[in-house]
C-alpha cells in the first residue's frame, strides 16, 4: 500500500471508529486503541511500523502546541505548586519506582529499567479531562491534569535521554545529569518564548485568518526544531510558545481569526490524535512478533509495572496534597487543597499516550557494540501499559466520578452564567456614554438597551437560581423558539439563493452569522 493510500485509510478508519465511540458514549481514544489492536491481527491488514522520528516531528509539536494554546497561563500559575509536584516530583518518583519493579520482578538491569521508567513517566490525560468536563467535575482537576501533561513531557523526555545515554556509554554522572536536565529545560523554554514572540510580532501586522492560522501551525515547528537541533527540550519549547501566544491572543487576533483558529486546532487535534491512537493499537502484532520467548512473561511484567504506576501515582498525590495543605496553613491565600475524592480521580487518570510509545520505539538497536539489553521486552511492556492506561481508566472513570459525587458541579455552571450576565450589565451601563460619544439616534440606543436587557433576562434564572422553575422554563422556551425562527431564516435564505437573488458568498456570510447565533443559543 502506498503512503498516501495508507494515510487515507487511517483517516477513514479513525473517523469511523470515532463515530462508533460517540454512539457508545466513550472517548474515541479508547475505541481507537482497541479497534487498532483488533485490526492488527486481521489477515491482510498491513503492519505499519511507526518511525519514531516521524511521530515526534509530525504528531507531537502541533498536539502539544494546541494543548498549550488552549491553556490559560493564569490557571497554570494558580495551580503551579500542584502541577510542579506532579510534573517534576512524580516523574522522578515514577522513573525510580518503575525501574525498581522492572529490576526486581523482571530481572532487567538498572540502566534499561530506568529507561522503561522514563518512557512511562509522561502522562497524556486526553480522555480523562474530556470525561471530567463532560460530567461537570471541578474544573481545577482538569487544569491540574492538563498542566501536568504539558510540563512532564519535557521532564520525562529529558530523563529518557539521560537514561539511554547511560545504557550506551555504560556510566552515568548524577551531577552531569542534573546540570543537563536544567540546561535542557531552561534552553527549551527560552527558545519557545522567542518563537512565540516572533510569531506574535508577525501576526500583529496581519489581519487575514488563513495566513494567521498558517503562522500558528508553523509556530509549533519553529519552536520545536531549533530546540532539538541545539540539544534542549523541544517539547518544553513548544509548550512555552503555545502559552505565550495564548496570552497574546486577545490583543493579537480579530474576532473572526479567533473563531477560525479555534476551529482549525480542534479539527487538526482530532485528526492527529485519532490517527495516533489507532496506530498505537496497530503496533501490537509487530511488537509481539519481535519477542523471542513469547508474550507470557512480558505480560506478567507489564501487569506488575501497571499496578506499580497506579499505586505510585495515588500515593504521591495524597502525600503531596498533605504537604501542600500544611504549606497553605502557614501561607494564607493559597489555593485550597484537593479533596480525597478529587485526588483519587486524578490518581486514576494517569493515562499514557503517543509520546511514550514513540520513546519506546526510538530505543537504539545496539549499545556499546552489543544488542540493547531487553529492548524487545521494554517495547512490549511499554505498549501493554500504554494501552491499558488508556482503556481501563477510560472505561471506568465516569463511574468513579459519579460514585464519588464529583459530577455536575453546579458552581461552575453558575459562575459562567454569572459572568455572562456581568458582561451584559457592564455593556448596558455604558450605552448612554457610547450613544453620546457617537451621536447615535435614540432609537438605536433603545434597540441596544433592549438587546442587552433581553440577554440578561434570558441568563438570569440560570445565573443566580432566582425566578423559580417558571422563569427557567420561559428561558428554555424562548431559546427553543429562537432556534425555530433561525431554521425559518435558513429556509428563506436557501430560497433566495435558488432564485438567484443573492450570491454564493453572500449566502455563506449570512449562514455564518446564523451559525454563530444558533451556537450561542445552544450553549
What pLDDT score was predicted for residue 247?
A: 82
What pLDDT score was predicted for residue 120?
A: 93
Sort 479 into a burial class: Cβ within 10 Å, 0-12 / 13-18 / 19+. middle
Range name among 32-36, 148-152, 277-281 with the lowest pLDDT average: 277-281
What pLDDT score was predicted for residue 310?
A: 93
The predicted model gives 15-44 an average pLDDT of: 83
What pLDDT score was predicted for residue 91?
A: 92
The domain locations on the chain are 3-172+273-404
Cα–Cα distance measured from residue 387 to residue 80, given in angstroms and rounded to the nearest whole number: 29
Q: Within its chain, how far is the Cα of 63 from the centroid? A: 8
Share of the chain above pLDDT 70, in %: 87
Range name among 269-273, 289-293, 462-466 with the lowest pLDDT average: 462-466
Range name among 43-47, 227-231, 240-244, 507-511 with the lowest pLDDT average: 43-47
Cα–Cα distance measured from residue 452 to residue 465, given in angstroms and rounded to the nearest whole number: 20
What pLDDT score was predicted for residue 337?
A: 63
> Is pLDDT above 60 for 464?
no
> Is pLDDT above 90 for 304?
yes
Sort 250 into a burial class: Cβ within 10 Å, 0-12 / 13-18 / 19+. exposed
Cα distances (Å, whole numbers) of residue 55 to 18, 39, 50, 279, 357: 21, 20, 7, 10, 9
The alpha carbon torsion through 118, 121, 127, 130 (nearest 10 deg) reads -130
More confident residue, 8 or 44: 8
Secondary structure letter of residue 136 according to DSSP: T
Provide the whole-model pTM.
Answer: 0.75
For residue 420 the three cell numbers come to 455572562
The predicted model gives 38-42 an average pLDDT of: 81
Range name among 113-117, 334-338, 489-493, 513-517 with the lowest pLDDT average: 334-338
What pLDDT score was predicted for residue 468?
A: 53
> SS3 of 505, please?
helix
Q: Give per-residue burial for 183-222: e unless 16+ CB within 10 Å, then b.
A: ebbebbbebbbbbbeebbeebeeeeebeebbebbbebbbb
More confident residue, 162 or 88: 88
Give me the chain's average pLDDT, please. 81
Sort 436 into a burial class: Cβ within 10 Å, 0-12 / 13-18 / 19+. exposed
The predicted model gives 382-386 an average pLDDT of: 89
What pLDDT score was predicted for residue 104?
A: 93
Q: Is residue 69 within 8 Å of 242, Cβ to Cβ?
A: yes
The predicted model gives 317-334 an average pLDDT of: 72
Domain spanning 3-172+273-404, CATH class: mainly alpha
Interaxial angle between packed helices 504-522 and 468-498, expressed in degrees from 0 to 180 and rounded to the nearest 10: 170
> Is pLDDT above 90 for 489?
no
The predicted model gives 125-150 an average pLDDT of: 77
Instruction: Identify each DSSP E strand in 97-250 by its residue range.
Output: none
Q: Beta strand 370-371 with 366-367: parallel, antiparallel or unpaired? A: antiparallel
Q: Each residue of 74-132: pLDDT tens digit? A: 777 878 888 888 888 999 999 999 999 999 998 888 888 999 999 999 888 776 777 77
Sort 385 into a burial class: Cβ within 10 Å, 0-12 / 13-18 / 19+. buried
What pLDDT score was predicted for residue 359?
A: 82
Secondary structure letter of residue 291 according to DSSP: -
The alpha carbon torsion through 458, 459, 461, 467 (nearest 10 deg) reads -40
What pLDDT score was predicted for residue 194?
A: 95
Secondary structure letter of residue 231 according to DSSP: T
Q: Is residue 299 within 8 Å of 284, Cβ to Cβ?
A: no
> Is pLDDT above 80 for 197?
yes
Cα–Cα distance measured from residue 34 to residue 75, given in angstroms and rounded to the nearest whole number: 34
Counting DSSP H helices and E strands in the chain, the numbers are 24, 2
Q: Is residue 314 within 8 Å of 421, Cβ to Cβ?
A: no
For residue 94 the three cell numbers come to 515514577
Of 4-18, 226-240, 395-409, 458-472, give the range with the top mean pLDDT: 226-240
> Is pLDDT above 50 for 399?
yes
What pLDDT score was predicted for residue 463?
A: 45
What pLDDT score was predicted for residue 127?
A: 65
User: Minimal CA–CA distance to 386: which of 58, 33, 97, 10?
Assistant: 33
pLDDT band at 447 (very low <50, low <70, confident <90, very high): confident
Amino acid at each position: 500500500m502506498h503512503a498516501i493510500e495508507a494515510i487515507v485509510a487511517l483517516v477513514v478508519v479513525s473517523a469511523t471508529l470515532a463515530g462508533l465511540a460517540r454512539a457508545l458514549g466513550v472517548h474515541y481514544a479508547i475505541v481507537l486503541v482497541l479497534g487498532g489492536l483488533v485490526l492488527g491481527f486481521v489477515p491482510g491488514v498491513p503492519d505499519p511500523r511507526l518511525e519514531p522520528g516521524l511521530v515526534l516531528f509530525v504528531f507531537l509539536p502541533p498536539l502539544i502546541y494546541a494543548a498549550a494554546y488552549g491553556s490559560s497561563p493564569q490557571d497554570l500559575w494558580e495551580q503551579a505548586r500542584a502541577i510542579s509536584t506532579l510534573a517534576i516530583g512524580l516523574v522522578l518518583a515514577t522513573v525510580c519506582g518503575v525501574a525498581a519493579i522492572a529490576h526486581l520482578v523482571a530481572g532487567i538491569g538498572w540502566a534499561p529499567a530506568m529507561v522503561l521508567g522514563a518512557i512511562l513517566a509522561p502522562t497524556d490525560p486526553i480522555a480523562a479531562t474530556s470525561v471530567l468536563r463532560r460530567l461537570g467535575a471541578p474544573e481545577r482537576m482538569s487544569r491540574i491534569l492538563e498542566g501536568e501533561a504539558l510540563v512532564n513531557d519535557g521532564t520525562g523526555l529529558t530523563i529518557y535521554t539521560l537514561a539511554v545515554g547511560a545504557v550506551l556509554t555504560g556510566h552515568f554522572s548524577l551531577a552531569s545529569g542534573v546540570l543537563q536536565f536544567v540546561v535542557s529545560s531552561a534552553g527549551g523554554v527560552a527558545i519557545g518564548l522567542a518563537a512565540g514572540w516572533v510569531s506574535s510580532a508577525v501576526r500583529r501586522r496581519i489581519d487575514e485568518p488563513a495566513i494567521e492560522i498558517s503562522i500558528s501551525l508553523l509556530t509549533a515547528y519553529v519552536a520545536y526544531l531549533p530546540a532539538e537541533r541545539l540539544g534542549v527540550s523541544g517539547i518544553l519549547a513548544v509548550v512555552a510558545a503555545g502559552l505565550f501566544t495564548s496570552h497574546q491572543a486577545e490583543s493579537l487576533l480579530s474576532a473572526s481569526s479567533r473563531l477560525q483558529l479555534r476551529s482549525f486546532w480542534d479539527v487538526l487535534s482530532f485528526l492527529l490524535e485519532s490517527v495516533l491512537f489507532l496506530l498505537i493499537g496497530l503496533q501490537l502484532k509487530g511488537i509481539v512478533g519481535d519477542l523471542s520467548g513469547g508474550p507470557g512473561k512480558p505480560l506478567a511484567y507489564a501487569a506488575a509495572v501497571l499496578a506499580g504506576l497506579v499505586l505510585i501515582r495515588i500515593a504521591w498525590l495524597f502525600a503531596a496534597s498533605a504537604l501542600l495543605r500544611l504549606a497553605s496553613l502557614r501561607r494564607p491565600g493559597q489555593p485550597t487543597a484537593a479533596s480525597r475524592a478529587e485526588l483519587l480521580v486524578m490518581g486514576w487518570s494517569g493515562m499514557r499516550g503517543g509520546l511514550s510509545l514513540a520513546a519506546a520505539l526510538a530505543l537504539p538497536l545496539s549499545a556499546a557494540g552489543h544488542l540493547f539489553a531487553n529492548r524487545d521486552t521494554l517495547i512490549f511492556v511499554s505498549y501493554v501499559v500504554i494501552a491499558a492506561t488508556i482503556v481501563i481508566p477510560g472505561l471506568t472513570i465516569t463511574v468513579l466520578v459519579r460514585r464519588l459525587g464529583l459530577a455536575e458541579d453546579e458552581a461552575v455552571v453558575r459562575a459562567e452564567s454569572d459572568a455572562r450576565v456581568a458582561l451584559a450589565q457592564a455593556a448596558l451601563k455604558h450605552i448612554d456614554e457610547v450613544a453620546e460619544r457617537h451621536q447615535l439616534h435614540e432609537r438605536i440606543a433603545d434597540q441596544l438597551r433592549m438587546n442587552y436587557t433581553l440577554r440578561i433576562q434570558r441568563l438570569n434564572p440560570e445565573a443566580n437560581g432566582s425566578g423559580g422553575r417558571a422563569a427557567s422554563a420561559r428561558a428554555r422556551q424562548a431559546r427553543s423558539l429562537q432556534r425555530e425562527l433561525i431554521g425559518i431564516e435558513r429556509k428563506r435564505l436557501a430560497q433566495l439563493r435558488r432564485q438567484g437573488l443573492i450570491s454564493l458568498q453572500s449566502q455563506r456570510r449570512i449562514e455564518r452569522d446564523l451559525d454563530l447565533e444558533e451556537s450561542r443559543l445552544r450553549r
